[in-house]
């Protein structure tokens, strides 16, 4: 009789809105008990998932399964890089960026079925100032929104949307010096996003052409834009075509050095952290084992489904823009997003 494979499930009880006890009940019913011998842990504090996963990797456990969102996945995955222990995902977060990119179903029952298939691939991961990330990292506006979202009392895409729109009314682009593959450029940018995977989460594709196994970072620079650009940018973000926008600059590299005028917040996999003026982002090729679907379907975007939350939220928050614009005009000052300064300073 074959020896069962040891498998560890790590539950973040605070992530998302799904009933974790129901997920555990589904695991009991659907996990192939002839193949696996499961052990369950619940996280109790920040960093706990990393500790559990590291211990499992040292013991040579077959796989550690994250039951949580991108933050939980990041904690677990950083302890599994350069080991033979595989990462599995039952997505329960607000964005689920890595799970969506890997085409792991958001239905926990179907995600459990994928674990039973035991299909494993090796994927890349990124480092931002030596901190691992697996989806995206960045500086500028998206990092600020991640900080505000982390402080919000509630989660979910509409909360993220609300923070995005409200912060965009007062955010001022910064100037960055970029060095990559021997060349240097200087940009005035709303944000700079570095993608290992293609999206932030919620099917918002900030680096739509990124793949997890090419050994390259996909970099998206969003230059300053006007309020008239917002609907198109939103549509393209969810339609996987934002790289076609004239306000967007994209390139690929193995390593990117970013210099900015002052320290500030950055984000990795949606988690905000303060870093200094110099930031190094690089890719490490194929050093994380991940359980993936056996027959993942090609991603055919349903544009209206993906953009629905954004467009609905845009309608709800349209009054915020109008009110802000009225205030600006009353003060007889042009808001920053109407200014026509040259976005790119030099290259």
Tens of pLDDT, residue by residue over 296-327, are 654 444 444 444 444 444 444 444 445 544 55
* Domains of the chain, earliest start first: 5-118 (3.40.50.10330), 131-285 (2.60.200.40)
Q: Is the pLDDT of residue 7 over 50?
A: yes
pLDDT band at 275 (very low <50, low <70, confident <90, very high): very high
Sign of the CA dihedral with 152 first, then 150, 70, and 161 last: positive
The contacts of residue 255 (CB under 8 Å, 6+ apart) are 180, 181, 217, 280, 281, 282, 283
Tell me, what's the pLDDT at 95?
84
Listed residue (42, 102, 90) closest to 66, CA to CA? 90
More confident call, 233 vs 176: 176
With CA atoms as reference, report the closest residue to 112 among 1, 7, 13: 7
pLDDT, mean of residues 243-250: 92
pLDDT bin (cut points 50, 70, 90) of residue 25 is very high
Residue with the larger pLDDT of the pair 25 and 161: 25
Q: Are 219 and 250 in contact (CB under 8 A)?
A: yes
Mean pLDDT for the stretch of residues 239-254? 92
Where does the chain have alpha helices with state H? 20-30, 48-58, 70-78, 97-101, 108-117, 141-151, 157-168, 230-239, 303-330
In whole angstroms, give the CA distance from residue 314 to residue 47.
36
3-state SS assignment for residue 141: helix
pLDDT tier, 152 (very low <50, low <70, confident <90, very high otherwise): low
User: What would the two tokens of residue 136 be?
Assistant: 């995206």
Classify residue 1 by burial, with Cβ atoms within 10 Å: 0-12, 13-18, 19+.
exposed
Instruction: Tell me the pLDDT of the chain averaged across its residues.
Output: 83
The three-state secondary structure class of 91 is strand
């Amino acid at each position: 009789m074959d020896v069962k494979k040891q498998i560890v499930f790590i539950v973040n009880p605070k992530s998302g809105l799904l009933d974790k006890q129901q997920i555990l009940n589904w695991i009991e019913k659907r996990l192939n008990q002839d193949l696996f011998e499961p052990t369950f842990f619940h996280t109790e504090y920040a960093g706990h998932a990393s500790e559990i996963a590291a211990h499992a990797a040292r013991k040579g456990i077959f796989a550690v399964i994250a039951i949580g969102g991108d933050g939980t996945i990041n904690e677990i995955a950083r302890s599994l890089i350069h080991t033979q222990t595989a990462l599995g995902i039952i997505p329960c977060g607000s964005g689920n960026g890595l799970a969506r990119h890997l085409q792991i179903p958001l239905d926990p029952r179907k995600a459990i079925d994928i674990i039973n298939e035991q299909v494993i691939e090796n994927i890349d991961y990124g480092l931002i100032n030596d901190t691992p990330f697996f989806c995206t990292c960045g500086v500028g506006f998206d990092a600020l929104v991640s900080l505000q979202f982390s402080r919000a009392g509630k989660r979910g895409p509409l909360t993220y949307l609300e923070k995005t729109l409200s912060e965009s009314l007062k955010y001022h682009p910064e100037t960055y010096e970029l060095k990559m593959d021997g060349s240097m450029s200087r940009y005035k940018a709303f944000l700079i996003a570095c993608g290992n995977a293609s999206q932030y989460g919620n099917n918002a594709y900030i680096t739509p052409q990124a793949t997890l196994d090419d050994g390259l970072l996909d970099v998206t620079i969003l230059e300053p834009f006007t309020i008239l650009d917002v609907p198109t940018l939103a549509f393209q973000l969810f339609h996987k075509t934002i790289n076609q926008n004239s306000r967007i600059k994209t390139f690929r590299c193995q390593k990117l050095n970013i210099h900015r005028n002052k320290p500030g917040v950055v984000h990795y996999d949606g988690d905000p952290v303060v870093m200094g003026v110099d930031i190094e982002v690089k890719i490490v090729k194929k050093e994380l084992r991940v359980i993936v679907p056996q027959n993942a379907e090609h991603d055919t975007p349903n544009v209206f489904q993906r953009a629905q939350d954004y467009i609905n939220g845009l309608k709800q928050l349209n009054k915020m823009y109008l009110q802000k614009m009225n205030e600006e005009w009353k003060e007889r000052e042009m808001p920053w997003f109407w200014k026509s300064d040259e976005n790119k300073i030099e290259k």
